[in-house]
Amino acid sequence: MNRVLIAEDEPRIAAFLEKGLRAAGYVTTVVASGVDAAGYARGADFDLMILDLGLPGQDGLAVLAQLRSRGERLPVIVLTARDAVPDRVTGLDLGADDYLTKPFSFEELLARVRARLRDRGEPAPTTLAAGPVRLDLIRRTASVAGQEVELTAREFVLAETLARHPGQVLSREQLLDRVWGLAHDPGSNVVDVYIGYLRRKLGADLIQTVRGMGYRLAP
């Protein structure tokens, strides 16, 4: 999965990161304090954290130290306005996987996010298949019986989420959470709308509705 936790207290930078990452198909959650960063980074909800060092309350280095002392292996890319060598060295010593100095280009950040998600532990699959549908996770493209089909970034993440759990029912809440991020309105019908888009593009029989429970990819 491609869930990114953004810990950044400057609203303008947080919005810039969130907008760009979402457009690239990532699911994002923004937190603006060190305490929230440490709390949200607990467990397996995210695949990567972008961590600003200058956070209110508890700074990014303290968050990182706390994370690594708990044994959390979550990849962390540190953002710092301070180009000071000691900060970078301390960050890397504390277990940061990479760092970027502000100002940075979004393309560079994206390249580093991709690289960090690529080198995680076990080799990740590069394609997922379900019946005639194939999802290319590197190029972020979909095909049906060898014919490429155009999906939006969000549609792709939804298809990917279902394809990663073949035959398993995922509830609307789970899909909202995994595809649209935690803060989304649970009363929304956006999941049903997007399931409709995917059925139109990938085939009507691909995704089954399990009444009262959710959706699953046809086994």
**What is the SS3 assignment for 218?**
coil
| Nearest to Ca ion of 32, 153 (CB atom) | 32
Among 9, 36, 97, 177, binds Ca ion (CB under 5 A): 9
Q: Among residue numbers 57 through 116, which ones bind Ca ion (CB under 5 A)? A: none
| Nearest to Ca ion of 12, 211 (CB atom) | 12
CA terminus-to-terminus distance, the chain: 20
* Nearest residue relative to Ca ion (C-beta): 54
Smallest distance, Ca ion to C-beta of residue 62, A: 14
Q: Which segment (1-9, 164-172, 178-186, 200-208) binds Ca ion by CB under 5 A?
A: 1-9
Quote the CA–CA distance of 21 and 3 in Å, as a whole number. Answer: 10
Amino acid at 79: L
Smallest distance, Ca ion to C-beta of residue 39, A: 18
Strand 214-217 with 207-210, pairing: antiparallel
| Nearest to Ca ion of 7, 135 (CB atom) | 7
- Residue the block writes with tokens 């019946």: 131
Smallest distance, Ca ion to C-beta of residue 28, A: 17
Q: Among residue numbers 151 through 180, which ones bind Ca ion (CB under 5 A)? A: none
Smallest distance, Ca ion to C-beta of residue 72, A: 22
- CB contact set of 149 (below 8 Å; sequence gap of 6+): 142, 143, 201, 202
| Nearest to Ca ion of 91, 214 (CB atom) | 91
Q: How far is CA 217 from CA 68, 101, 134, 189, in A?
A: 37, 42, 13, 19
Amino acid at 120: R
Smallest distance, Ca ion to C-beta of residue 188, A: 31
Q: Among residue numbers 26 through 65, which ones bind Ca ion (CB under 5 A)? A: 52, 54
| β-strand partners of 21 | none
Could you say which DSSP state residue 146 is in?
T
Smallest distance, Ca ion to C-beta of residue 20, A: 18
| β-strand partners of 217 | 207
Contact residues toward Ca ion (CB under 5 A) are 9, 52, 54
